[in-house]
């Protein structure tokens, strides 16, 4: 969340951020309820002080046997109590109305964030590697999965419904290999790996700013006030929620975990194959640092470079884009996406995302530190998808396929694949 005093002083900037991010919240109404709430708090505090003074006077008068005077003051105290009861009710209404609007207020965006309405307005910053040019009829990842017996969607649907799947054999090994490669890379970069809960309380979802705007993407456990997480960012950030932390050196946390998303509203080619599924695995990196804009921007570049390193190790062509305002979430101040070339789509598809949230998330999660002047301040938080699978299997299989149906395994993955240098379809074994 943003500091309310800052919102009052920068209301127009917040209005613009809400409009550009497509978040339906009235900043004018928020300011009105804020003013109403503050006036009611001031008045009720004053009345409580008056009631305390009257109570003391009544007690003293009763000790002095001045009952008639005490009864007159009791009448004044009754009127104060009546007024307090009315104001307390009004204050409850004002606080609830204020809180409903306040939790919808978005983070503002960085000055260099492009303005746009959707991912079509994201701005390409750089390209790395060249998309392959096949001189044969290339297969998509589902056809390759069938050829090599790696993916079984019909049985996934039979078991769990649409957008579920089984990975089999080498498909499982690749799925695990890319995660372990990513986790090893992050450990080398000084990240502490955590095994995290996959369920979270609603306050954890709110405090990390996945609620209220992302509630429709989240699975709720029936009869329990808990939710399945769509990213380990939630438990990684919540690990330090409510704490005063040491950030002379940034805190770097990583987790490899299963993730769950309902994917409400997604359609079209995004639902083909493994691109947009309900259950997947991610290796996530989270950094908590001082509230220093230059520092957190440097860290944003670093965690993005970690994800780029992973793609380079996988020998995949990709591009880096600056995410526009309309494609950002409520909490994000600045964001990059990495999009990897997917031959079956004849386009780059998003595989990684990096976000700098400034103190928006830490303020909600109450993660603070003492600065050099011994003043408590809210930290900056950042996050990045080091790898997400099975989506990464789409470019991995499609870009590395060969005319004979075999699939090249990048050198970096081979230690995790029992030394295999390629996948050869069972029906191709033994052929010249």
Catalytic residue numbers, as ranges:
261, 276, 350, 353, 391
Start-end of H helices in 320-392: 360-365
Say if residues 360 and 209 touch (Cβ distance below 8 Å): yes
Say if residues 152 and 168 touch (Cβ distance below 8 Å): yes
What is the DSSP code (8-state) at residue 382?
E
Residues 110, 17: Cα–Cα separation, whole Å: 10
> Which residues, in sequence order, are CB contacts of 43 under 8 Å at separation 6+?
87
Q: Is 46 left (phi over 0), alpha (psi -120 to 50) or beta?
A: alpha
Residues 46, 49: Cα–Cα separation, whole Å: 5
Closest C-alpha among 117, 103, 109 to residue 333: 109
The helix or strand, by DSSP H or E, that contains position 310, with its residue range, turns out to be helix 293-313
The helix or strand, by DSSP H or E, that contains position 356, with its residue range, turns out to be strand 347-356
Closest C-alpha among 336, 241, 247, 237 to residue 295: 247
Q: For the range 160-166, what are the long-range contacts, defined as Cβ-Cβ under 8 Å and sequence gap of 24 or more?
A: 160/278, 160/279, 163/263, 163/271, 163/276, 163/277, 163/278, 164/277, 164/278, 164/279, 165/274, 165/277, 165/390
Say if residues 272 and 211 touch (Cβ distance below 8 Å): no
| Burial readout 162-183 (b: 16 or more C-beta within 10 A, e: otherwise) | ebebbbeebbebbbbbbbebbb
Q: Is the link from the previous residue into 416 a cis peptide, with omega within 30 of 0?
A: no
The helix or strand, by DSSP H or E, that contains position 48, with its residue range, turns out to be helix 27-63
The helix or strand, by DSSP H or E, that contains position 215, with its residue range, turns out to be none
Q: For residue 348, with 0-12 CB atoms within 10 Å meaning exposed, 13-18 middle and 19 or more buried, which class applies?
A: buried
* Helix axis angle, 11-21 to 27-63, nearest 10°: 130
Q: Is the link from the previous residue into 158 a cis peptide, with omega within 30 of 0?
A: no
């Amino acid at each position: 969340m943003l500091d309310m005093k800052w919102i009052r002083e920068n209301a127009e900037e917040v209005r613009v951020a809400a409009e550009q991010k497509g978040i339906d919240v009235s900043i004018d109404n928020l300011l009105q309820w804020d003013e109403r709430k503050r006036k009611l708090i001031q008045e009720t505090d004053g009345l409580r002080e008056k009631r305390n003074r009257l109570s003391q006077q009544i007690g003293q008068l009763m000790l002095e046997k001045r009952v008639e005077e005490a009864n007159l003051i009791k009448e004044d105290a009754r009127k104060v109590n009546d007024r307090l009861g009315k104001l307390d009710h009004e204050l409850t209404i004002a606080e609830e109305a204020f809180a409903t609007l306040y939790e919808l207020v978005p983070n503002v965006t960085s000055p260099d964030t492009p303005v746009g309405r959707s991912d079509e307005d994201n701005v390409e910053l750089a390209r790395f590697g060249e998309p392959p040019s096949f001189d044969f009829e290339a297969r998509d990842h589902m056809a390759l999965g069938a050829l090599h017996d790696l993916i079984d969607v019909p049985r996934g649907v039979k078991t769990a419904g649409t957008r579920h799947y089984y990975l089999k054999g080498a498909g499982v090994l690749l799925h695990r290999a890319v995660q372990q490669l990513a986790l090893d890379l992050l450990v080398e970069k000084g990240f502490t790996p955590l095994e995290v809960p996959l369920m979270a309380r609603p306050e954890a979802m709110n405090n990390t700013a996945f609620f209220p705007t992302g509630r429709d993407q989240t699975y709720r456990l029936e009869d329990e006030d808990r939710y399945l997480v769509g990213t380990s960012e939630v438990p990684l950030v919540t690990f330090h929620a409510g704490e005063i932390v040491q950030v002379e050196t940034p805190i770097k946390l990583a987790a490899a975990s299963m993730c769950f998303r309902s994917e409400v509203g997604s359609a079209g080619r995004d639902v083909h194959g493994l691109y947009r599924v309900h259950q997947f695995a991610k290796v996530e990196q989270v950094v908590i640092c001082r509230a220093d804009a230059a520092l957190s921007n440097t860290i944003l570049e670093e965690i993005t470079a970690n994800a780029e390193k992973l793609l380079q190790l996988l020998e995949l062509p990709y591009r880096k884009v600056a995410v526009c305002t309309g494609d950002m979430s409520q909490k994000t101040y600045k964001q990059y996406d990495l999009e990897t070339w997917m031959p079956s789509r004849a386009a780059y598809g998003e595989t990684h995302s990096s976000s700098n949230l400034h103190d928006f998330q830490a303020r909600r999660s109450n993660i603070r530190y003492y600065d050099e002047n011994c003043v408590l301040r809210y930290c900056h938080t950042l996050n990045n998808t080091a790898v997400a699978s099975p989506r990464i299997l789409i470019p991995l299989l499609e870009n590395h396929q060969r005319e004979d149906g075999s699939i090249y395994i990048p050198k970096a993955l081979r230690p995790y694949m029992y030394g295999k240098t390629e996948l050869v379809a069972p029906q191709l074994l033994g052929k010249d």
